[in-house]
Amino acid sequence: MDKLLIRGGKPLNGTVTISGAKNAALPELCAALLTEEPMVLDNVPRLQDVQTMIKLLRNMGAGVEWQGDSHRLQLNAGTVTSPEAPYELVKTMRASILALGPLLARFGEATVSLPGGCAIGSRPVDQHIKGLQAMGADIRVEHGYIIAKVNGRPNGKLQGARITTDMITVTGTENFLMAACLAEGETVLENAAQEPEVTDLAELLIKMGAKITGHGTSRIVIQGVERLHAPQEAHSIVPDRIEAGTFLCAVAAAGGDVALVGSRADHLDALIEKLREAGASINAINGQLRISMSTRPLAVGFRTSEYPAFPTDMQAQLMAVNCVASGMARISETIFENRFMHVNELVRLGAHIEVDGHMAVVSGVERLSGATVMATDLRASASLVIAGLCADGETVVDRIYHLDRGYEQMEAKLRGLGADIERISA
């Protein structure tokens, strides 16, 4: 099992290229199931979760091939023979639920394993089931599988419906969005997720012939069409705002001056505001973000919430900045109940953190001390890397398969910025 060895204390300087967004790539790979025509996605990150989704699509009979060593992916779902997502392929990835909507919409049936993934808390699929039932699907859960069929409907088609979820759900919004494109009539999604990845999926679907308005707001309206086709040109996946945010936090903690190529400042407003409060200088010029940090950061409190508020996927990374900041900060986590699992590992590095339920209080220290730590989930692993960049001596981050699920060649990108970091085998 691979680990990362980090020798801390070096500022970060130079230029880093931000990859395509994992959380946009996964639903957009599933969107290929909505058409028989071959299509091309560009700027696809080469990540473990993406590879898992590719295996899942291939298992259904779809053709999926990388174009050489590029980030361009050719997909052909015209050859799908089995609308099923088995447990063996999806047990490590919660995004497998995204196959449910498009399979049901195009084939009138789907069998999808209840998903696995990070142990950061409950992400119930009941909202997905309720929404698709409102569109006319018969759904039961048996032996760990969601078994769905469209019965008693003309041509086995889903029907348009008004769907209001009990809470904002990104994957739920994406599932309903894809399913509604081929449903009969109008579907209205109330309380919809507004994340950039949802908007990017909608833009892809529109290129495929879907009729969608309101994406990027809490109310999305979809007029069903008879069929979808491949986009005329390759669709380029939106940059990964969480990867970009992670590098911003790394510079804020370790110091330095870094330009992020291919990043979107307008997707990071809440984080940028907090990092500026911490003392960082951040500017957006010609599709690049540039951050410079020459002093010890100031501690900043924050509360996670749904987009466009502060993202839960950046909570651990900004906590790592607070660990070496001047002052004390309160952090409130409102999205996932188990998303403070990185705290004990940060404490092993010398951080001063107290947790009370959904609140963490961080008292910054001048220096952390290198130690062996263990990643518990994807974003926790990123926070440990950031902490290791600031720590005296050597830090070893174990179980970095979590990191590989969501960050493309992170250690290579950090090395390019001057970090002393390498991947080692156990």
**Binding site members for UDP-N-acetyl-alpha-D-glucosamine:** 94, 123-127, 313, 335
CB atoms within 10 A of CB 95: 23
- The DSSP symbol for 217 reads B
Cα(127)–Cα(327) distance, rounded to whole angstroms? 41
Q: How far apart are CA 378 and CA 252, in angstroms?
A: 20
30 is known as an active-site residue: no
Token pair in block for residue 161: 């419906």
> Which residues sit in the known binding site?
22-23, 94, 123-127, 313, 335
Q: The tokens of 23 are what?
A: 């959380």
Give buried/exposed letters for 279-301 (b at 16+ CB in 10 A, else e). Answer: bbebeeeeeebbbbbeeebbbbb
In whole angstroms, give the CA distance from residue 421 to residue 411. Answer: 6
Element (H, E) at 299: none
What distance in Å separates the CA atoms of residue 409 and residue 137, rounded to the nearest whole number? 41
Residue 190 tokens read as 């109330």
Annotated catalytic residue within 30, 118, 181, 249: 118
Q: What are phi and psi of 171, to 5 degrees?
A: -65, -30
Alpha-carbon distance values, 135 to 29, 149, 222 (Å):
23, 11, 13
Residue linked to tokens 């449903």: 183
Question: What are the catalytic residues?
Answer: 118
